Structure 1
Amino acid sequence: MSSGITLSAATRQNLLSLQDTSALTATTQNRLATGLKVSSALDNPVNFFTAQNLSNRSTDLGGLLDGISNGIQAIQAANQGITSIQKLIDSAKSTANQALSTQITTTGTAGTAFSAAATTVNFYVNGDAKSAALTTADTIDTAITALNTSAGSTMFSKDTTGTKIVLNASAAVEFKASADQTALGFAAGTTSSATVAKYGSTGDVVTSGTNLTVSGVDAREKLAKQYNSLLTQITQLAKDSSFNGTNLISNGDASNKLHIAFNEKDSSNLDVQGQDLTADGLDLDAITKNSGATADGKGNFLLDDDIKGTLTKLTSGSDTLRTASSTFGSNLSVVQNRQSFSKNLINVLDTGAANLTNADLNLEAANSQALSTRQSLGISALSLANQAQQSILQLLR
């Protein structure tokens, strides 16, 4: 609807120019205030939605970074556990070697002279049952020969008087009954709760008596207990090597794995399989009274061969730890590389989105100054366009 007011062409043109300038000024001021040249789909649909997609992916990847970071820490916790377990295994090796170097000996001289009698002498050499049949016709020499033949070692001899039997063995020699001791002239031992059934259900023994001394057995037993304590520490340490509820070295079950997603669709990922690096998982058995190759009561590091077997298992355990450490190290390198890649990719996506939507503040600031000047000039031009009408007004006055 017309207002009924007639404006000259120059005035109307100047007004349109001022309106355009005002609109441009408003746009420029909005860009300066928000820092965006595209703040809605109305500004530029293509740039707006492209930038939105880039920003959304950047946000998704940023959320995955927390999971990647937790995965790195879980692997590092496992690796730290492996390093500490290796130190405990080294200590266990040292303990086993100390037991191996601890010499077991049985020494002593009979308290009375040997007297021939028809009897069978039953005794144990490092837990192995031995027996020697003696007769009334035996001299001390033939008796010693029979004993050494049964023992499989020259451990029995006679003293300087030639009448008493001497026992000098690099082994634990114990007699089944006190009668076996007295038949050779040694003082009778007594039954003790610490020694009864020492070598299994049928391997009863008696104490050494006053004439015999067995050394090294107790020392090896104490070292066996020390070894067992180290195995307990290995298991406890493995179970404590967790991060945020994830433990990769205390359970080798197939379900115990760490899943790390590297992209928003989980089409790129890594599964880190857990391993059982406890004492049981490393096949390290506690040394007990009935441990050993045949579990017949010859445990507590009594036999050198069993100690050597233990050392072999410890070496195998160390190899397992090294393999596990290498595997976890390789996985850690992959995850750290993907973490760095994701951070850089997020930066690329954010930069790409910003390039599509962010305003050039330097340019917009210059535009603002130019538009301000332009608006001032427009107002001056409008004033000049109205001067003709003002002249007519002067005539009417």
Structure 2
Amino acid sequence: MSSILTNNGAMVALSTLRNISSGLAETQKEISTGLKISSAADNAAVWSISQVMRSDADGFGAISESLSLGNSTVAVARKASESITELLGNIKTQVIAAQESGNDKTKIQSEISALRDQVSSIVGAAQFKGVNLLQGSQAITVLSSLDRTADGSVSASRITVNRNDLSATEETAGTTAVAAGALMTGTRTGSAVAGNAADPDAVVSFTSGGVELGATYTITLTGTGAAGSDTSGEQTFTYVAGESDTELSVSTALKDQMDTYISDNSLTNISTSQDGATGALTVALAGGAGTDSIDVGFTEFTGGTVDGGLSALAGMDVTTEEGAAQALTDVESLINTAIDAAASFGSAQGRISTQSDFVSSLTDSLMSGVGSLVDANMEAASARLQSLQVQQQLGIQSLSIANQSPQSILSLFR
């Protein structure tokens, strides 16, 4: 049956042409963007996976930069350590020459002093972006990887590089006084802790955050009375904090000094204890001796320095026979210290370089994986485009033929 109201042939041709046009638009989008999946609407699951992988690749790009900076920092320290090792070898030559009684030890000492100054200059200059691995004691960390677990959580991995102090400084106590209680605080029973007092303990605490490089802590003990309490006058115990010291480590160092003195002098009426969490020190005087007492004092300063790894170099003096003999012993230890530092930095640099190469390869693999998921196959897209263009032309021709069919009905009415 023919109808002038419903043209089924045209409807079929139009539907086909519409599908061809949709496919043609999709193919043209692939060709223009280079992506077969450019948004979540195209394929939500694949798009989500590709975005996670792309994010990881971007993260590894940042890690690669971190590794490059870390490698440069360690390389500077390694080269400086090697240079210092060579200078110490020259110093050793001078020290050996000083063993000869006929040599001018004053001139040899001048040469050693010049070489020592050069060592200090290298140590001071061996920094990269403000980080100097030849001073201080705290380790540094270099971001090296992002680890993703099965549940999708991410954690960072780091490579730890230990500092190796090669400075030639000697320990000196700080001389800049600070406000009372800024570094240490204390409580006592009056001016002295009496053996028969209700609370015969003196407690010295450390202010949180007060520990810093060069902070100097001094505790004094003055005990009187029986032999077990008599300190033979004021005894001073001093500790200069290093870069990595904490309240607890400073407390432990001072306690060890006091305990050694108490033990060596058989002061059986005096004892110390420590809070393992806060580092608070307690000095106690045994009860029962009414005439016994002990005065506990404390002072605090900043501006001190701690011994460097080559501190023996600072005091090296070959102008005397004893000094020359001691220098020969010291220089061997100094050379070994510098060699160990260079080896440590070399090992760390090798590890960082290996990790950097791995991260670079991993980033390439991730980007390749992302490409295989979302990139368009340009050869297939090109072939599909030509095919769809031909189909579109045929669809238009078919629609034209279908639209002409109702005109044949007119012949029935002639």
TM-score, scaled to structure 1: 0.63
Match of 1:382 among 386, 390, 399: 399
The Cα of 1:39 is off from its aligned counterpart by 1.2
In structure 2, the partner of 1:259 is 141
1:141-152 to structure 2, matched below 5 A, reads none
**Change in CA separation of 1:72 and 1:329 when aligned onto 2, cut-off 3 Å:** same
Q: Is 1:315–2:332 an aligned residue pair?
A: yes
**Contact 2:79 / 2:342 at 8 angstroms: preserved in 1?**
no
In structure 1, the partner of 2:163 is 274
1:202-221 to structure 2, matched below 5 A, reads 219-221=104-106
Aligned length: 266
The Cα of 1:318 is off from its aligned counterpart by 1.2
**Change in CA separation of 1:320 and 1:58 when aligned onto 2, cut-off 3 Å:** same
Aligned residue identity for 2:157: S
* Separation in structure 1 between the aligned mates of residue 43 and residue 355 of structure 2, nearest angstrom: 34
* Separation in structure 2 between the aligned mates of residue 35 and residue 75 of structure 1, nearest angstrom: 42
Q: Which runs of 5+ in 2 are unaligned?
A: 147-153, 170-308
**Contact 1:231 / 1:284 at 8 angstroms: preserved in 2?**
no
**Change in CA separation of 1:274 and 1:21 when aligned onto 2, cut-off 3 Å:** same
**Contact 1:21 / 1:371 at 8 angstroms: preserved in 2?**
yes
The Cα of 1:89 is off from its aligned counterpart by 0.8
Aligned residue identity for 1:283: S
**Change in CA separation of 1:94 and 1:392 when aligned onto 2, cut-off 3 Å:** same
> What is the DSSP-based 3-state SS (H/G/I as helix, E as strand, rest coil) of the residue aligned with 2:382?
helix
Match of 2:362 among 345, 348, 354: 345
The Cα of 1:53 is off from its aligned counterpart by 0.7
Match of 2:350 among 320, 327, 333: 333
> What is the DSSP-based 3-state SS (H/G/I as helix, E as strand, rest coil) of the residue aligned with 1:271?
strand
**Contact 1:92 / 1:227 at 8 angstroms: preserved in 2?**
yes
In structure 2, the partner of 1:14 is 13
The Cα of 1:341 is off from its aligned counterpart by 1.2
Q: Is 1:283–2:311 an aligned residue pair?
A: yes
Identical columns (%): 27
The Cα of 1:308 is off from its aligned counterpart by 3.0
Q: Which runs of 5+ in 1 are unaligned?
A: 104-215, 292-298
* Separation in structure 2 between the aligned mates of residue 262 and residue 300 of structure 1, nearest angstrom: 47
**Contact 1:283 / 1:313 at 8 angstroms: preserved in 2?**
no
Greater Rg over alpha carbons, structure? 1
> What is the DSSP-based 3-state SS (H/G/I as helix, E as strand, rest coil) of the residue aligned with 1:101?
coil
**Contact 2:95 / 2:318 at 8 angstroms: preserved in 1?**
no
The Cα of 1:336 is off from its aligned counterpart by 1.2
The Cα of 1:354 is off from its aligned counterpart by 1.7
* Separation in structure 2 between the aligned mates of residue 300 and residue 333 of structure 1, nearest angstrom: 39
TM-score, scaled to structure 2: 0.60
The Cα of 1:321 is off from its aligned counterpart by 1.4
* Separation in structure 2 between the aligned mates of residue 248 and residue 376 of structure 1, nearest angstrom: 73
**Contact 2:4 / 2:406 at 8 angstroms: preserved in 1?**
no
**Contact 2:168 / 2:312 at 8 angstroms: preserved in 1?**
yes
The Cα of 1:79 is off from its aligned counterpart by 0.3
**Change in CA separation of 1:327 and 1:349 when aligned onto 2, cut-off 3 Å:** same
* Separation in structure 2 between the aligned mates of residue 361 and residue 277 of structure 1, nearest angstrom: 60
Q: Which deviates the most, 276-285 or 28-37?
A: 276-285
* Separation in structure 2 between the aligned mates of residue 259 and residue 221 of structure 1, nearest angstrom: 45
The Cα of 1:28 is off from its aligned counterpart by 0.5
In structure 1, the partner of 2:46 is 47
Aligned residue identity for 2:144: F
> What is the DSSP-based 3-state SS (H/G/I as helix, E as strand, rest coil) of the residue aligned with 1:260?
strand
Give the 4+ runs in structure 1 shifted more than 3 A: 264-267, 390-397
Aligned residue identity for 1:332: Q
In structure 2, the partner of 1:185 is none
> What is the DSSP-based 3-state SS (H/G/I as helix, E as strand, rest coil) of the residue aligned with 2:51?
helix
In structure 1, the partner of 2:114 is 229
> What is the DSSP-based 3-state SS (H/G/I as helix, E as strand, rest coil) of the residue aligned with 1:338?
helix
Q: Is 1:301–2:319 an aligned residue pair?
A: yes
* Separation in structure 2 between the aligned mates of residue 342 and residue 5 of structure 1, nearest angstrom: 71
* Separation in structure 2 between the aligned mates of residue 20 and residue 266 of structure 1, nearest angstrom: 48
Whichever structure has more strand as a proportion of its residues is 2
**Contact 2:38 / 2:374 at 8 angstroms: preserved in 1?**
yes
Aligned residue identity for 2:107: K
The Cα of 1:73 is off from its aligned counterpart by 0.5
Cα deviations across residues 202-238 of structure 1 (Å, max 9, x unaligned)?
A: xxxxxxxxxxxxxx5xx31121122112111111211
**Contact 1:65 / 1:339 at 8 angstroms: preserved in 2?**
yes
**Contact 2:35 / 2:374 at 8 angstroms: preserved in 1?**
yes
The Cα of 1:250 is off from its aligned counterpart by 2.0
Aligned-residue RMSD, C-alpha: 2.2
The Cα of 1:266 is off from its aligned counterpart by 4.7
> What is the DSSP-based 3-state SS (H/G/I as helix, E as strand, rest coil) of the residue aligned with 1:335?
helix
Cα deviations across residues 140-180 of structure 1 (Å, max 9, x unaligned)?
A: xxxxxxxxxxxxxxxxxxxxxxxxxxxxxxxxxxxxxxxxx
In structure 1, the partner of 2:22 is 23
Aligned residue identity for 1:309: Q
**Change in CA separation of 1:394 and 1:379 when aligned onto 2, cut-off 3 Å:** farther
Q: Is 1:243–2:109 an aligned residue pair?
A: no
**Change in CA separation of 1:99 and 1:22 when aligned onto 2, cut-off 3 Å:** same
In structure 2, the partner of 1:107 is none
